[in-house]
């Protein structure tokens, strides 16, 4: 799943570790999320949305075709 996490994080001037600390996950998870290699649970998606004060859909882009692949 594509997302705007990296852009949002850079806009906030946070390192991956800082974002990981705020989201209570490991830095490796943030790296995987930013690369689009890992899809977060709904709880983590909400947590990230709260951190950036955005809606989930503004951060994560659902691709129906990718879902059915």
- Binding residues for another protein (CB under 8 A): 20-21, 24-26, 28-29, 32, 37-38, 40-41, 43-44
**39 is written with which tokens?**
């899809």
Whether 67 and 13 have beta carbons less than 8 Å apart is answered as no
Nearer to another protein, 5 or 20 (CB): 20
Of 6 and 21, nearer to another protein (C-beta) is 21
- Give the Cα separation of 68 and 56 in Å (integer): 21
Mutual angle of helices 16-23 and 27-34, in 10-degree steps: 110
Give me the least distance between CB of 12 and another protein, in Å please.
19
CB of 61 to another protein, least distance (A): 19
């Amino acid at each position: 799943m594509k997302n705007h996490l990296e852009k949002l994080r850079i806009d906030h001037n946070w390192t991956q570790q800082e974002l990981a600390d705020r989201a209570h996950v490991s830095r490796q998870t943030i790296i995987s999320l930013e690369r689009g290699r890992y899809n977060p649970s709904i709880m983590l998606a909400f947590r990230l949305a709260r951190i950036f004060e955005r809606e989930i859909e503004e951060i994560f882009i659902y691709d129906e075709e990718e879902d059915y692949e």
